[in-house]
Amino acid sequence: MSAPAAGHRPGATPEEVWAARSPGWPAWVPDPAWRRVVVCAAHPDDEVLGVGGAMALLAAAGVELVHVAVTDGEASHPGNPVLAPAQLAAAREAESGAALAALGVSPVDAVRLRLPDSGVAAHEDRLVEELVPRVLGADLVLATWTGDGHPDHEAVGRAALVAAARAGVPVAQYPVWAWHWSHPGDPRLPWDRARAVALPPGVQAAKRAALDCFTTQVRPLGPDPAVLPPEVLAHAHRDHEVLW
């Protein structure tokens, strides 16, 4: 996720509030004819937080997955004395690989574009050019949401929409950060387009194991508190994921 400085805002919506809402969104059902799906993540961990369960279900159904990591997430701990940015980037790349393995996902292609963490918007045109050939011929693109409240997530969402439109491929976007700053019924979110990906218990367990692979994010690192503390991770421990 690479939380911006506003990270753990007081007043963030606890998962219990979301759980009590029981919205009953229509089910998202993968098309059995799908052969290849491209998953775009702004930072290593977005893909698991947002659609780790969906990726596991698609992989189990024999769908080829392409994982595009737009940044290496090197800006999650500025000034940290334990890991410098380059070391953090390497650690997060390894964490993402371990997490996908925990989900039973072996991407046919794992693409690292190495755009600057927290600076994707300045490279959006280049990102579109990088994405177009990779989404050509795919059945679906999954990407972070254009309204997610993190500039990198939003830039990746916008670029994915443009690239997929050029390639004639549909897009489903996944919120990550929005679960933290929004609230049930929040009119800023496109609830009318929401679809729920139901996660069986085995997939939920695999997703928990996958999230635990992101050591630099889910645990304190030197003097820095966890970027993904339990109250934020709780949103990713649900029995469903949401796409729109």
Binding site for Zn ion (CB under 5 A): 1-2, 42-43, 46
- CB 232, min distance to Zn ion, A: 11
Q: Considering beta carbons, is residue 63 or 143 the nearer one to Zn ion?
A: 143
Least gap, CB of 70 to Zn ion (angstroms): 9
Please, which residues have CB within 8 angstroms of residue 159's CB and are 6 or more apart in sequence?
Answer: 40, 120, 124, 127, 128, 131
Query: What is the spatial distance between Cα 224 and Cα 182, in angstroms, rounded to a whole number?
Result: 25
CB closer to Zn ion out of 102 and 228: 228
How far is CA 243 from its chain centroid?
Answer: 11
Kindly tell me which of 214 and 244 has the beta carbon lying closer to Zn ion. Answer: 214
Least gap, CB of 236 to Zn ion (angstroms)? 12
Distance of closest approach, residue 46 Cβ to Zn ion, in angstroms: 4
Please, which residues have CB within 8 angstroms of residue 24's CB and are 6 or more apart in sequence? none
Please say whether the beta carbons of 210 and 53 come within 8 A. Answer: no
Minimum distance, C-beta of residue 176 to Zn ion, in the bound complex (Å): 6
Q: What is the DSSP string of 140-181?
A: EEEEE-TTSSSHHHHHHHHHHHHHHHHHT--EEEE-STHHHH
Q: What is the closest distance, in whole angstroms, from the C-beta atom of residue 96 to Zn ion in the complex?
A: 11
Compute the distance between CA of residue 83 and CA of residue 217 in angstroms, rounded to an integer.
12
Nearer to Zn ion, 15 or 46 (CB): 46
Please say which residue, 2 or 182, places its beta carbon nearer to Zn ion: 2
The Cα–Cα gap between 123 and 57 comes to: 32
Inter-residue contact 51 to 99 (CB < 8 Å): no
157-162: Cβ within 8 A, 24+ apart: 158/124, 159/40, 159/120, 159/124, 159/127, 159/128, 159/131, 160/40, 160/131, 160/135, 162/128
Cβ proximity to Zn ion, 45 vs 139, nearer residue: 45
Shortest distance, position 206 Cβ to Zn ion, whole Å: 20
Q: 42 or 142: whose CB is closer to Zn ion?
A: 42
